[in-house]
Amino acid sequence: MLYRNKKPHDPNAGKWIGIGGRIELGETPDACIRREVFEETGIELRSAHFHGVIRFRSDAWEDEDMYLYSSDDFETYDGLALCDEGELAWIKEKELFDLPMWEGDRLFLRQIAEGGDQISMTLSYEGDKLVSASDSFS
């Protein structure tokens, strides 16, 4: 997980979030997650499991869709890299939900922790407050 505390004007400041970033022109979501994980952590994913799509809607920030992945098949070299966006840490699952994070993130992370798959969720925010969460499973 990544504790966001280094970027100025960061809407994620003070929260723990997963690793990821924007898809580049011509890049697939699978290629993006591999690139972003390596750039932010120094970890090389050998494979990643696609869980679904999370749609973030907000009155304060740009709407975005997130492709949700997890992996337990990766190569680490010299531990976690330094990240210019915040502090990286391995978090034990039993401690994960005690961390400060977006309320909506708790919903999809809990589904993954419980073995959920094919997650489709829309999270709507007013500022930092989650005002609605709807999901469907295919």
- Cα–Cα distance for residue pair 23/34, rounded to 1 Å: 11
Backbone angles phi, psi at 30, to 5 degrees: -60, -45
- Cα–Cα distance for residue pair 101/118, rounded to 1 Å: 22
Reported as a pLDDT band with limits 50, 70 and 90, residue 102 is very high
pLDDT exceeds cutoff 70 at 137: no
pLDDT exceeds cutoff 70 at 7: yes
Reported as a pLDDT band with limits 50, 70 and 90, residue 17 is very high
122 strand-pairing partners? 55, 134
Three-class secondary structure of residue 83 per DSSP: strand
Mean pLDDT calculated for residue range 1-12: 91
Give the CATH number of the domain where residue 109 resides.
3.90.79.10
- CB 74 within 8 Å of CB 44: yes
Query: Per residue in 110-119, pLDDT tens?
Result: 999 998 888 9
Q: How many domains does the chain have?
A: 1
Other beta carbons within 10 angstroms of residue 116's beta carbon come to 15
pTM equals 0.88
**For the chain, percent of residues with pLDDT exceeding 70:** 98
How many Å from the N-terminal Cα to the C-terminal Cα in the chain? 27
CA 131 to chain centre: 20
Mean pLDDT calculated for residue range 68-94: 89
- Cα–Cα distance for residue pair 79/65, rounded to 1 Å: 30
Reported as a pLDDT band with limits 50, 70 and 90, residue 138 is very low
Structural domain of 63:
2-137
